Amino acid sequence: MTDPDCTGGQVALSQVLFTSTDGGSTFGPGVTVSQVTGVPALELGPGMFVRTAEFPVLAVHGGTLWMAWNDAALGRSHIRLGASLDGGSSWTFRWASAGPLDDVQPALSVDAGGLHLAYYHRNANNTLDTVAADSADGGIQFVAKAVTAAPFPGVRTVPQFDPQIAFGYMGDYIALVSDGGHLYYAWGDNRNRIVNFTHPTGRNDPDVFFARR
């Protein structure tokens, strides 16, 4: 929202693409890819919040540019997928996930085998799984499966157990890359428990987990 006089109003979110053809020295005017319905923080339990933002992720293969982000236009947070055949000037859209629960913070990769997504999925009992979803038909259908061996719980983030970390910070970063033969995943995961002088009875500890497929 542009509001130089601070008069108030509704915040309008959108995904905007800026393109450079000279290695990043200059960029053309922004192209609005899509309007966005914001996703509120996920509440997994008392004080257990996962902040989330509609950060877009990009991938390109075979002349097609892909963009994905989490969007609440369906009433819950799900993964919105856009495709452009003309370098980002025009787009078509599909939903890469659906259902009564929430999917947030996607990572995206594409190779000769198709499209590959990774994202956090909130389960009915407010635990989380990291999900791998693959499409061999250009995003029309995805086959989704949890990467995590078991769902993991939330952690207290309000107030944050680490005073140097912002409130609501859990996850925020998830990664997926392909080398053409394997897919590599990295994500934040709270399954491990730690006992120390500040938490003598123990608490779940956010760690970075890695998987290759």
Residue-wise pLDDT for 94-135, tens only, equals 999 999 999 999 999 999 999 999 999 999 999 999 999 999
Residue among 212, 84, 57, 71 nearest 138 (CA): 84
Q: Is the pLDDT assigned to residue 163 strictly greater than 60?
A: yes
Angle at 83 between CA 78 and CA 86, to 5 degrees: 155
Distance CA 102, CA 98 (A): 8
Residues 6+ apart with CB under 8 A from 48: 126, 153, 154, 155, 156, 157, 158, 170
**Could you tell me if residue 74 is left (phi over 0), alpha (psi between -120 and 50 degrees) or otherwise beta?**
alpha
In a domain, 123, yes or no: yes
Give the model's pLDDT for residue 8.
72
Whole-angstrom distance, CA of residue 96 vs CA of residue 80:
6
CA distance 123 to 102: 8
**pLDDT, the chain, mean:** 91
The model's pLDDT over 124-150, given as tens digits with 9 standing for 90+, comes to 999 999 999 999 999 999 999 999 989
pLDDT at 197 over 70: yes
Question: Residue 5: inside a domain, yes or no?
Answer: no
- If you write DSSP's letter for every residue of 24-65 in order, what string do you get? TS-----EEEEEE---PPEEEETTEEE------EEEEETTEE
Residues 162, 168, 173, 174, CA torsion sign: positive
How many helices and strands (H and E) does the chain possess? 0, 17
User: Which residue segment(s) compose the domain that 153 sits in?
Assistant: 37-212
Q: What average pLDDT does the segment 196-204 reach?
A: 86
Mean pLDDT along residues 38-44? 91
Is a pLDDT exceeding 80 seen at residue 44?
yes
pLDDT (mean) for 35-40: 92
Q: What is the CATH number of the domain that holds 171?
A: 2.120.10.10
pTM above 0.75, yes or no: yes
pLDDT value of residue 11: 77
- Read off the pLDDT of residues 6-25 as tens digits, 9 standing for 90 and up: 777 677 889 999 999 999 99
1 pLDDT band (50/70/90 cuts)? low
User: Domain count of the chain?
Assistant: 1
Q: Compute CA distances 150 → 99, 128, 131, 145, 147, whole Å.
A: 20, 9, 11, 12, 9
Query: Residue 2: its pLDDT value, please?
Result: 63
* 7 within some domain: no
Q: Is residue 19 part of a domain?
A: no
pLDDT over 80 at 172, yes or no:
no
Answer whether residue 142 is part of any domain: yes
- Position 10 in a domain: no
Do residues 65 and 87 lie in contact, with contact meaning Cβ atoms separated by under 8 Å?
A: yes
Quick check: is 108 in a domain?
yes
- As a whole-number percent, the residues of the chain with pLDDT over 70 amount to 97
Is 112 part of any domain?
Answer: yes
